[in-house]
Structure 1
């Protein structure tokens, strides 16, 4: 029994060393691997004359980003991920098909009653980010600024026009650019953060013309993004 206090001290010290090593390993391996979900208000930028948005154009975005720290404190990182994006745009651009050709025109709502007119896009996206944050291995409420680039591939598109003259619905037309890419920014504190996307190329391809001019119109998305570890 006289050796029991010494044995107790040895056991406690070994547990303390093991816990210290666990904390060291935890911090050493800490990263912000995150699932994300966001909702945005979608704006059409550089609109042709006469084209206007109406109603609320929304976007929903989900995905996963792999966090790869690049410094010892692990507060700077590169993030690379995969995601899915669904976007709708309510506006007054008529998109119809005549003789297997897509025709664009501006709806005159003084002449025709339109109850709904929108086009929608669905994309698989690859975000690439440079990340700065004040987080630690045990602190989940922190400041963050993530900025980067996002590449999207359009897997599906649709248009829907409902008016007193009739309904027109099209899907997977060739008028959209298959590849969409732009700059991103996410910033804030804690779970919810401001998110912005600025498209660098036109949503429509060069063959899409309105009044014999190419529809060179890009996308801006503003909203909130929610991160889940």
Structure 2
């Protein structure tokens, strides 16, 4: 076979090879498109949705209704988080009741001094410059119950909300640290504290960011006095809360 015939045969083979590549490529693309259009599972929209199952919050803390000359010192912060079971009560699911479990850590810096021992604490208002640290911390297990309104639909996760709640809190851990030049006193498991606390709160906002306000209805202390004045400190917590599905 001469060179010209070899060239013709090679050219013909190349054309057949290229044709086969194009043909099979088109077939695969068509099959994939057919599969994606005909066999792709359709996502069913859930009209029985529930909202905001988990929550996380950060707060600025203060205590109110303190003894005479009581004052805050430095910034006090708190953290809260937990789970809520959302239970819609109307057909459009814009109204709901929610109940759940959570934990709250609160920190308070102030001039309310605690001395003595764990079994027999004493209380006094500390003078300016007489201490470097005077911090009171608590950890509670919470039972929140909420009444909820939200402008939500099953097609959107961005909506306005107003949640009003009542929270029962059980004191799991407490610690007061007083640090001065001549003394370092740590009081734990203070018997004068209320083990069971209750408060009301409000959370409102749009989408991710929501303003949160919590007010402790009962006093943190069931007993204890500064001079002749009964201790009736109550908590007030202001911050942001984030709800997560």
Q: What TM-score range do you get, normalising by the shorter chain?
A: 0.7 to 0.9
In structure 1, distance between residues paired with 2:238 and 2:128: 28
Q: Which residue of 2 aligns with 1:220?
A: 236
Aligned pairs for 1:1-229 (under 5 A) are 22-23=44-45, 26-27=46-47, 29-97=48-116, 100-110=119-129, 112=130, 114-205=131-222, 207-229=223-245
* Structure 2: runs of 5 or more not aligned: 1-37
In structure 1, distance between residues paired with 2:199 and 2:68: 24
RMSD: 2.1
**What is the aligned length?**
210
1:100–1:171 Cα change, 3 Å: closer
Distance apart, 1:213 and its partner CA: 2.1
TM-score relative to the length of structure 1: 0.86
Give secondary structure in 2 for the equivalent of 1:31: coil
- CA deviation digits over 1:119-140, x for unaligned, max 9? 1110000110000001122311
In structure 1, distance between residues paired with 2:117 and 2:188: 14
In structure 2, distance between residues paired with 1:138 and 1:180: 39
In structure 2, distance between residues paired with 1:79 and 1:191: 18
- CA deviation digits over 1:67-124, x for unaligned, max 9? 00000000100010100000011001110115942100011125x2x11101111000
Give secondary structure in 1 for the equivalent of 2:132: strand
Higher alpha-carbon Rg = 2
Query: Which structure 1 residue ranges, 4+ long, deviate > 4 Å from structure 2?
Result: none
TM-score relative to the length of structure 2: 0.81
1:135–1:115 Cα change, 3 Å: same
In structure 1, distance between residues paired with 2:117 and 2:80: 34
Distance apart, 1:212 and its partner CA: 2.1
In structure 1, distance between residues paired with 2:183 and 2:66: 26
Larger relative strand fraction = 1
1:82–1:105 Cα change, 3 Å: same
- CA deviation digits over 1:176-196, x for unaligned, max 9? 111111111000001110000
